[in-house]
Amino acid sequence: MAPLAARRLAQMVELGERLVSIELVIAGQAVDLRDRPALGTGTTRAYELVRERVPFTGLGDPLPQDLEPVRELIRSDAFSARAASRRGETAPP
Protein backbone atom coordinates (compact mmCIF):
# COMPACT_ATOMS: atom_id res chain seq x y z
CA MET A 1 0.00 0.00 0.00
CA ALA A 2 2.96 2.35 0.50
CA PRO A 3 3.62 2.92 -3.24
CA LEU A 4 -0.03 3.78 -3.81
CA ALA A 5 -0.02 6.14 -0.82
CA ALA A 6 3.17 7.81 -2.06
CA ARG A 7 1.69 8.31 -5.53
CA ARG A 8 -1.51 9.77 -4.08
CA LEU A 9 0.50 12.09 -1.85
CA ALA A 10 2.50 13.31 -4.87
CA GLN A 11 -0.76 14.00 -6.71
CA MET A 12 -2.12 15.95 -3.74
CA VAL A 13 1.06 18.03 -3.50
CA GLU A 14 0.85 18.83 -7.22
CA LEU A 15 -2.79 19.88 -6.87
CA GLY A 16 -1.85 22.03 -3.89
CA GLU A 17 0.90 23.72 -5.91
CA ARG A 18 -1.57 24.44 -8.71
CA LEU A 19 -4.10 25.86 -6.28
CA VAL A 20 -1.55 28.13 -4.60
CA SER A 21 -0.28 29.25 -8.04
CA ILE A 22 -3.79 30.29 -9.06
CA GLU A 23 -4.29 32.11 -5.76
CA LEU A 24 -1.00 34.00 -6.15
CA VAL A 25 -1.83 35.13 -9.68
CA ILE A 26 -5.32 36.24 -8.59
CA ALA A 27 -3.83 38.11 -5.62
CA GLY A 28 -1.41 39.88 -7.98
CA GLN A 29 -4.34 40.91 -10.17
CA ALA A 30 -6.19 42.23 -7.12
CA VAL A 31 -3.19 44.29 -6.04
CA ASP A 32 -2.87 45.80 -9.52
CA LEU A 33 -6.58 46.56 -9.76
CA ARG A 34 -6.46 48.38 -6.42
CA ASP A 35 -3.66 50.67 -7.67
CA ARG A 36 -0.94 49.03 -5.58
CA PRO A 37 -2.14 49.59 -2.01
CA ALA A 38 0.42 49.61 0.79
CA LEU A 39 1.76 46.08 1.24
CA GLY A 40 4.01 44.57 3.85
CA THR A 41 7.60 43.58 3.09
CA GLY A 42 6.87 39.89 2.51
CA THR A 43 3.72 40.55 0.53
CA THR A 44 5.52 43.07 -1.67
CA ARG A 45 8.27 40.56 -2.41
CA ALA A 46 5.74 37.81 -3.19
CA TYR A 47 3.88 40.22 -5.50
CA GLU A 48 7.13 41.12 -7.28
CA LEU A 49 8.15 37.47 -7.69
CA VAL A 50 4.78 36.59 -9.23
CA ARG A 51 4.75 39.65 -11.50
CA GLU A 52 8.25 38.85 -12.78
CA ARG A 53 6.79 35.63 -14.19
CA VAL A 54 3.14 36.41 -14.95
CA PRO A 55 2.24 39.87 -16.30
CA PHE A 56 -0.93 41.78 -15.50
CA THR A 57 -3.99 40.57 -17.39
CA GLY A 58 -5.98 43.49 -18.70
CA LEU A 59 -9.70 43.64 -19.29
CA GLY A 60 -10.59 41.34 -22.15
CA ASP A 61 -7.20 39.59 -22.17
CA PRO A 62 -7.25 35.82 -21.72
CA LEU A 63 -6.11 34.51 -18.37
CA PRO A 64 -2.68 32.90 -18.42
CA GLN A 65 -2.97 29.19 -19.14
CA ASP A 66 0.55 28.27 -18.08
CA LEU A 67 1.18 28.76 -14.38
CA GLU A 68 4.31 26.62 -14.39
CA PRO A 69 6.61 29.61 -13.69
CA VAL A 70 4.68 30.30 -10.48
CA ARG A 71 4.71 26.60 -9.55
CA GLU A 72 8.50 26.68 -9.97
CA LEU A 73 8.63 29.57 -7.49
CA ILE A 74 6.67 27.53 -4.98
CA ARG A 75 8.85 24.45 -5.49
CA SER A 76 12.03 26.52 -5.19
CA ASP A 77 10.97 27.81 -1.76
CA ALA A 78 11.24 31.40 -3.05
CA PHE A 79 8.58 32.66 -0.63
CA SER A 80 10.28 31.50 2.56
CA ALA A 81 12.21 33.58 5.11
CA ARG A 82 15.25 31.46 4.31
CA ALA A 83 15.10 32.54 0.65
CA ALA A 84 14.77 36.18 1.73
CA SER A 85 17.90 35.91 3.86
CA ARG A 86 19.78 34.38 0.89
CA ARG A 87 18.76 37.45 -1.15
CA GLY A 88 20.01 39.73 1.61
CA GLU A 89 16.55 40.86 2.64
CA THR A 90 15.37 41.00 6.20
CA ALA A 91 12.50 38.72 7.02
CA PRO A 92 9.53 40.20 8.85
CA PRO A 93 9.29 39.25 12.54
The 10s digit of each residue's pLDDT in 8-65 is 999 999 999 999 999 999 999 999 999 878 999 889 999 999 999 998 888 878 777 8
Query: Model-level pTM?
Result: 0.78
Check whether 87 has a pLDDT greater than 70.
no
Please give the pLDDT value at position 64: 78
Core vs surface per residue 58-91: b (16+ CB within 10 A) or e: eeeeeebeebeebbebbeeebbeeebbeeeeeee
pLDDT higher at 85 or 46:
46
Q: Is 58 left (phi over 0), alpha (psi -120 to 50) or beta?
A: beta
Please give the pLDDT value at position 10: 95
